[in-house]
Amino acid sequence: MNIGVLGAGQLGRMLALAGYPLGNRFTFLDTTGSPSAGVGEVIVDPDNQHLAEFLAKVDVVTYEFEHLPVTLVQEIEKHKPVYPSSRAIEVCQNRVEEKALFDRLNIPTPAYRVVESAEQLEAAARELGCPVVAKSVTEGYDGKGQAVLKAPEEAAAAWQSIGHAQLVVEAFVDFVREVSMIAVRGRDGEVVFYPMAENQHVDGILRYSVAPLPDLDVQMQQTADTYIRTLLDELDYVGVLALELFQTRDGSLLANEMAPRVHNSGHWTMDGAVTSQFENHLRAVQGLPLGSTQAIAPTCMVNVIGREGDNAAMLALANTHLHRYDKAERAGRKLAHVNVVAATHTELLEKVRACQALLPDAPPVEWSFTNTL
């Protein structure tokens, strides 16, 4: 089967690498003019002149990022199966739609307001109580399109810096840790869940994801499974869905946002789970049986941001796997990730700290359970 992928970045690259053993071929439609997949056939089409050529080559279509024109996805759906659907992408690329869906499905979220002016932003900050986070309704990711207000008087500057006509303002959450759920739903409605991962962000960019968690309550995993299954079924979803959450001090989970695609916090599955998120996504969109999501051993994904590290020294660490994206160095750019696998979480922490020392500007590892090891 020739699988069409909207977007041609590192997520598309890893989808292709997972699909080649299944006998898949890949055609990427790049709408940005700067593809980086480096595999498969890439059609560069920033002016939407080559859609017919793309459609003639592919059997089924998926996407590797959600910041696409919904009208483009809807047009493709007239000609080829698209998984996940345009409905999923429409919700996930709009924070107001996303929050409304969470509310309708009784999935708890941090307290929030929708504002359309600097004056409304200031009023929301006073009502919710600072600090608050202001986020653009569309196009925000990896910390872009966001501002933290420590006082209501900062509203005018925050409004100007974000530069969008509508913002979502969220109350700060007193959380124990940031976590994420990765689940996969097949064409037949079957759903499988990966173990919950703990994520460490710096300046809005993911730096470490670790799974499975040694101190995770079974009930909390089941609650997260229920939330994400509800979303999958509501959207009649096919493929991988990621749901980011806050685990609060009272033991509850608050949904932050979701992503309708394979996700950075699921990269650990490439070496730490029986079936990777990438292979399972491809199985789902082709109507194949889903693979086991069981974790093989404690695993941590380490993002390589901005500058390459000492790759040879990292690979000298036992059961450490480097996945490079064939990208040039640039501040803030995701260049690669390293999956570190170990027999115990104590050993894993030691090895991840060794990796961190080999990566320029990598932050110290801060897991919520470090003191219990």
306 is in an annotated binding site: no
329 is in an annotated binding site: no
Q: Across the strands, what pairs with 247?
A: 177, 253
CA distance 241 to 257: 11
Q: Which CATH class is domain 111-171?
A: alpha beta
CA distances from 299 to 112, 225, 271, 272 (A): 34, 20, 8, 6
224 is in an annotated binding site: no
Tokens of 154: 């900062």
Residue 3's SS3 state is: strand
In single-letter form, the type of residue at position 191 comes to: V
178 is in an annotated binding site: yes
Q: Which CATH class is domain 175-372?
A: alpha beta
186 is in an annotated binding site: no
- Contact 213/56 with Cβ under 8 angstroms? no
154 is in an annotated binding site: no
Residue 311's SS3 state is: helix
CA distance 103 to 197: 24
Sign of CA dihedral 89, 28, 53, 81: negative
| pLDDT tens for each residue of 171-203 | 998 899 999 999 999 999 999 999 999 999 998
Please provide the CATH number assigned to the domain covering 2-82. 3.40.50.20
The domain segmentation of the chain, as residue ranges, is 2-82, 111-171, 175-372
Q: Which DSSP symbol is given to 143?
A: T
140 is in an annotated binding site: yes
112 is in an annotated binding site: no
Q: What is the pLDDT along the chain (373 residues), one digit of tens a residue?
A: 999 999 999 999 999 999 999 999 999 999 999 999 999 999 999 998 999 999 999 999 999 988 889 999 999 999 999 999 999 999 998 999 999 999 999 999 999 999 999 999 999 999 999 999 999 998 766 667 889 999 999 999 999 999 999 999 999 988 999 999 999 999 999 999 999 999 999 988 999 999 999 999 999 999 999 999 999 999 999 999 999 999 999 889 999 999 999 999 999 999 999 999 999 999 999 999 999 999 999 999 999 999 999 999 999 999 999 999 999 999 999 999 999 999 999 999 999 999 999 999 999 999 999 999 9
135 is in an annotated binding site: yes
| pLDDT tens for each residue of 28-42 | 999 999 999 999 999
Cα atoms found within 13 Å of the Cα of residue 206, Cβ hemisphere only:
26
Which residues make Cβ contacts (< 8 Å) with residue 168, sequence separation at least 6? 95, 96, 99, 112, 113, 114, 115, 134, 135, 137
Sign of CA dihedral 314, 315, 320, 326: positive
